[in-house]
Structure 1
Amino acid sequence: DSKTKIKMLQEFYLKLNDTDLSIHGIGEGDEATLLEQAAIMNRSFASLPKDHQEIIADITKKMGAGMAEFVEVDMGQGTVRTADYDKYCYYVAGLVGEGLSRLFSASGLESPSVGKLTGLSISMGSFLQKVNIIRDYLEDFVEGRTFWPQEIWKKHMGNLGDMRDPAKEEASLACLNEMVFDALRHIPDCMEYLGGIHHPDVFFFCAMPQVMAVATLAKLYNNPKVFTGVVKVRKGTAAFLMEHSTTMPKVRGLFSNYIQVIQSKVKHTPERKAVLTRALEAIHDDKLEMPNMSGITYVALFALAGSLSYLIGKNGFVLPPLTAAF
Structure 2
Amino acid sequence: MQIPRKTSIGSSESDLSYQKAILGSVSRTFALTIPLLPPDIEIVVGNTYLLCRIVDTIEDAADLSPQIKQDLSKLFLDAVLEKSPVETFVEPCLTHLRHYGNSDELDLIANTPTVLRILHTCSANDQAAVSRCVSIMSEGMSRFHGKQNEAGLKNLTEFEEYCYVVAGVVGELLTTIFSNHSQAFTKNIVGHEELAIAFGQALQMTNILKDSPEDKARGVSWKPANMSQTTLLAIAYDKLKDSLNYILLIPKTDLGMRRFCFLAFGLAVMTLSKIAKRDKFNCKDEVKLSRKSVMAFYAFTKVAVNSNLLMKVFFQVYAKPLRTAVSKS
Is TM-score (shorter-chain normalized) higher than 0.5? yes
Overall identity of the aligned pairs, in %: 21
- Does the alignment pair 1:111 with 2:185? yes
For these two proteins, the number of residue pairs brought into alignment is: 247
Structure-2 separation of matches of 1:109 and 1:29? 41
- Does the alignment pair 1:143 with 2:143? no
Pairing of 1:141-290 with structure 2 (within 5 A):
141-152=216-227, 175-198=228-251, 199-224=254-279, 226-230=281-285, 231-245=287-301, 246-247=304-305, 248-263=308-323, 265-266=324-325, 268-269=327-328
Quote the residue 1:29 is aligned against: 103
1:57-96 alpha-carbon deviations (Å, 9 max, x no partner): 1111111111111111132221121111111111111111
Quote the residue 2:195 is aligned against: 120
Normalised to the residue count of structure 2, the TM-score between the two structures is 0.69
Q: Using the TM superposition, give the Cα deviation of residue 214 of structure 1 relative to its aligned residue in structure 2, in angstroms.
A: 0.7
Quote the residue 2:143 is aligned against: 69
Structure-2 separation of matches of 1:36 and 1:114? 40
Rg: which structure is higher? 1
Q: Using the TM superposition, give the Cα deviation of residue 3 of structure 1 relative to its aligned residue in structure 2, in angstroms.
A: 3.0
Higher mean Cα deviation, 2-11 or 232-241? Answer: 2-11
Structure 2 CA distance for partners of 1:34 and 1:114, relative to 1, 3 Å: farther
Structure-1 separation of matches of 2:262 and 2:246? 10
Structure-1 separation of matches of 2:170 and 2:225? 26
- Does the alignment pair 1:89 with 2:163? yes
Quote the residue 1:6 is aligned against: 70
Q: Which structure 1 residue ranges, 5 or more long, are not aligned?
A: 153-174, 273-326
Q: Which has the higher contact order (CA 8 A, sep 6+)?
A: 2
Contact residue 169 and residue 197 of structure 2 kept, 8 A? yes
Structure 2 CA distance for partners of 1:176 and 1:205, relative to 1, 3 Å: same
Contact residue 19 and residue 40 of structure 1 kept, 8 A? no
Quote the residue 1:78 is aligned against: 152
Contact residue 124 and residue 190 of structure 1 kept, 8 A? yes
Q: Using the TM superposition, give the Cα deviation of residue 142 of structure 1 relative to its aligned residue in structure 2, in angstroms.
A: 1.0
Structure-1 separation of matches of 2:107 and 2:121? 22
Quote the residue 1:278 is aligned against: none
Report the RMSD for the aligned CA atoms in angstroms: 2.3
1:211-265 alpha-carbon deviations (Å, 9 max, x no partner): 11111111111414623453112222222222222423222111100222334x4
2:73 partner letter: L
